[in-house]
Structures are given as structure tokens and as C-alpha cells.
Amino acid sequence: MSVLSIVGARPQFVKAAVVGRALERAGIENMVVHSGQHYDDNMSDVFFRDLDMRAPDYELGVGSGSHARQTGETMMRLEPLCARIRPAAMLVYGDTNTTLAGALVAAKAGVRLAHVEAGLRSFDRSMPEEINRVLTDHVSRWLFCPTETAVRNLAGEGMTQGVHQVGDVMYDAVLWFRRKAGERGSDGGTTPVSPNGAYVLATIHRDFNADDPDRLRAIIGGLSACRYPVVLPAHPRLRKQIGAFRLEGGLAAGGIRMVEPVGYLEMARLEMRAAVLVTDSGGVQKEAFFHGLPCVTVRPNTEWPETVELGWNRLVGADAQEIATAVDAAAAPPVCGELAFPFGDGRAASRLAGILAREL
């Protein structure tokens, strides 16, 4: 039994690390294909090292580009590889252009497809990620859902066959790597933070925030007005836009420390020690929840409504005052409700691998 696991972005490397181990324990040969959607050391290679993953079996080298170019190039390079290997199944993760490209290649080649993190919905079709996840779900043979909400979303779209609520593989990863991240933090890590230990951790990368000068200026203004200093690991695209929009002065005036992107363990260490997280990332919202870290999400919606319902996540607009107020309120107890875990028990990858082993 062999499967092709298609990855291309940082969150997918994390998921593939825990799922890959479980597949191998279940006797399934797991071959990893890296599209190259994230391709430099800070965005890719360091994650493989942090996660103790072997190098990908195949690298497509797609690189950056528009949604159409990334999706199309990945399909063109993956299709002949799939035809040559003829795997028993293909695994795709999450909601990136790499995800959709792998799903379309599998569907057209007649290869059974498994979608890890199926059923997530923000119900915002203006987000490319929403289109990717909806289309991928509708061509998948196995739909591995992290939550009951995801199962209900699929049922609402008429999908009940092949649906399995296994839990969240990202929670598996947090449990697996938390100790290692703590050990990394014993020497202070590599990322400079506030001397007194109280800081806001921020990540901004969505195109509707990073590519809009007014929204990005408002977000930086909100971060600047927070009572804590801010650590901002900056995606290369964000760094480029900050320069293009001439926003460096706002960073400096507001005490915002922009640093290079960090690996998984360093990011976990920063999350474990921060006072509040500000983000527009889907996966990072959930990581904050797992670490018991209050989160402010700079988006009108989320694919993880459980984090909002349980009081650990606030949705805000791109308004400086609204952001600063939400961050200060999140840092002051008792804003957060009792921490509950609707994401499983940390054995999602084993369940997923067991299902595939039986059905393949």
C-alpha cells in the first residue's frame, strides 16, 4: 500500500509529520511530494528539520505566483508523477493552492483522495482558501474531519459517505512537539522578545490584509496602540508590502519588532510565552487555543468557530481602535471561558491511518 502525501505550505508540513508517522506504523508506504509553494529555508526547510521529517521524496519546485499559476504548475508537474507511481491513494491537507491542485489531479487520474481537515467552512466565498476546501471536499473519497462542526458542514452540502470525525491532527502535533519547544525555550530561543516577558505575538499574511494599504496601516496602528510590545514574524510578502506602502515608520514608532519567519518549534515557543496573539491565519488561531493563549483574529469570519464560542478568540475588523481594545481586553482575565477541547484527544493521525489501512 502506498500513498502520495501532497504538501506545499508550513501548516501542511506539520500535519504531514504526524500523519506520516501514523501511516508508517500502519504499514502504509508514505511518499511525500513538496510542491514548492513555500520554498525558502525560513518558510520550508527549517520546518522539516524542526519536525524531524525526512526530506520530501519528490519536489516540484513550483515557487510563488498567482493562484492560477501555482495551481496550474502544480497540476502539470504532479500529474506525470502520479501516473508513473500509481499510488493507492493521495492525501491532501488543508486549503492551499497545493491542496486544490492535488485534489484535481487525483480526481482526473482516478486516484482515491483523502482530505485531511475536511469540512471546514468560513462561509466566505471571497477567500481563495474557501474555494479550495469546498472543491477538494467534493472530489474526496475520504473526508477526515477535525470537529463535529465540520461533519455538520459536509452533511449540509450532501456529503455523508466517507466522512470520519477523527479529531484534529494539529492537536496531535502540539502534544507531540510541545516538550521539544519547551526545551528550545530554555536557552531563550532565537527570537528577541520583550525583556519583561509580556508581549503580543502577531502574524499577518492574508492578501486582503497584506495587499491593502489602508487595512494594513490600520492593523499596524492597532498593534502600535497595544499596551504590550509586539513581535511580528513577517512573511516575505508582508515585509515587501510594508516597504511598498512605506509603513516602516509606524512599526518603529509603535514598538513593533519585525523578525524573520520562524520554524514550528520557535513559533510554538513564542505562542507559549505570549500574552495575546493577533493573526489572520486559520491554523495559528487554533494553535493559540491549544496553548491556552487568547487570540484576536483580524478577519470578519473564521473556519474555527469553536474557538470563538468558547471565548478564546475575538473577530475584529481592520480598525486600529477596535484591534487595540480587543487586544487589551483579551489580555485581562476573565475574558476566556473554561478551556475545552472539541478537537479530539491527540490520536487523530492514528485513527486516520487505521481507516486507510483497512480500506486500502
Residue of 164, 205, 235, 291 marked catalytic? 205
Find cell 509586539 and name the residue. Answer: 230
Q: How far apart are CA 103 and CA 135, in angstroms?
A: 8
Sheet containing strand 112-116, strands side by side:
58-59, 29-34, 2-7, 89-93, 112-116, 142-145, 163-165
Q: Is 115 a catalytic residue?
A: no
DSSP collapsed to 3 states, the chain: CEEEEEECCHHHHHHHHHHHHHHHHCCCEEEEEECCCCCCHHHHHHHHHHCCCCCCCEECCCCCCCHHHHHHHHHHHHHHHHHHHCCCEEEEECCCHHHHHHHHHHHHHCCEEEEECCCCCCCCCCCHHHHHHHHHHHCCCEEEECCHHHHHHHHHCCCCCCEEECCCHHHHHHHHHHHHHHHHHCCCCCCCCCCCCCCEEEECCCHHHHCCHHHHHHHHHHHHCCCCCEEEECCHHHHHHHHHCCCHHHHHHCCEEEECCCCHHHHHHHHHHCCEEEECCHHHHHHHHHCCCCEEECCCCCCCHHHHHCCCEEECCCCHHHHHHHHHHHCCCCCCCCCCCCCCCCCHHHHHHHHHHHHC
Q: How far apart are the first and last CA of the chain?
A: 7
Q: Indicate which residues carry an active-site annotation.
A: 205
